[in-house]
């Protein structure tokens, strides 16, 4: 079952900037096209519909970036992105949390450090992409787990989202979502079993 709510913005909802030049006031209107969408669930692994939709969007010509913070694979990472449909760039962590059981990670400091470093590498790449304006949609899959594990700072995510390029949609997925981020969302979808 999917429950969804969104903040609908009418055409009259503009950010207005006054520019005062030579005793003349010019008003420029900027609309914010990009939305922040949050998909939350009580359990991990409940987001295949988002991945399916990202593939569909790419096939329709939208440029999509899909980042999976907690999933990894052979020869993954920022330098080994997978390209699908010519428009979907899919990147997983080069050394991820899901490749090992949590006990192994806690008992091996080098492994834990490697996982943290590869997750931070993904996050730094994402920050640049959010500023570039080159993507129509950016999906940050399980970013809230990276925050919960104290790999990514919540305030860094909030600041990056507030200062992102204006036109691209950003989709965030996770289980335990901080209230500050829920308040930023244009749409919140709760996935239930």
8 domain residue, yes or no: no
Do the domain assignments include residue 130?
yes
Tens-binned pLDDT, residue by residue, of the chain (193 aa) = 444 444 443 333 344 344 444 455 544 444 456 899 998 887 666 567 788 888 899 999 999 999 988 877 666 888 888 888 889 999 988 777 766 777 777 788 887 888 889 899 999 999 999 988 899 999 999 899 889 888 899 999 999 999 888 678 999 998 888 899 999 999 998 877 6
Residue 5 belongs to a domain: no
* CATH value at residue 140: 3.40.50.300
165 is a domain residue = yes
- The token pair at 4 is 């969804």
CA–CA separation, 43 and 176 (whole Å): 9
Q: How far is CA 174 from CA 23, 45, 119, 143, in A?
A: 51, 9, 15, 7
Residue (of 105, 79, 104, 101) closest to 92 by Cα position: 79
Asked, for residue 3, whether it belongs to a domain, the answer is no
Report the domain count for the chain.
1
Q: What domain range is 71 assigned to?
A: 34-191
Is 68 within the bounds of a domain?
Answer: yes
pLDDT at 4: 46
Please give the structure tokens belonging to residue 95: 């050394």
Strand order across the 2-6 sheet: 2-6, 187-191, 36-41, 169-174, 137-141, 64-72, 88-93, 82-84
- Within-domain flag for 168: yes
Q: What's residue 70's pLDDT?
A: 81
pTM: 0.76
């Amino acid at each position: 079952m999917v429950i969804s709510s969104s903040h609908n913005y009418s055409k009259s909802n503009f950010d207005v900037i006054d520019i005062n030049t030579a005793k003349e006031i010019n008003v420029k209107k900027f609309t914010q096209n990009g939305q922040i969408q949050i998909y939350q669930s009580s359990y991990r692994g409940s987001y295949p519909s988002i991945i399916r939709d990202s593939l569909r969007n790419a096939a329709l010509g939208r440029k999509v970036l899909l980042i999976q913070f907690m999933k990894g694979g052979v020869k993954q990472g920022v330098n080994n992105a997978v390209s699908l449909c010519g428009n979907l760039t899919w990147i997983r962590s080069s050394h991820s949390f899901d490749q090992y059981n949590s006990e192994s990670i806690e008992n091996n400091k080098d492994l834990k450090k490697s996982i943290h470093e590869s997750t931070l590498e993904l996050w730094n790449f994402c920050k640049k992409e959010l500023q570039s304006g080159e993507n129509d949609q950016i999906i940050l899959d399980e970013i809230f787990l990276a925050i919960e594990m104290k790999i990514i700072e919540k305030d860094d995510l909030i600041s990056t989202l507030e200062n992102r390029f204006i036109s691209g949609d950003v989709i965030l997925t996770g289980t335990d979502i901080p209230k500050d981020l829920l308040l930023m969302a244009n749409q919140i979808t709760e996935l239930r079993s």
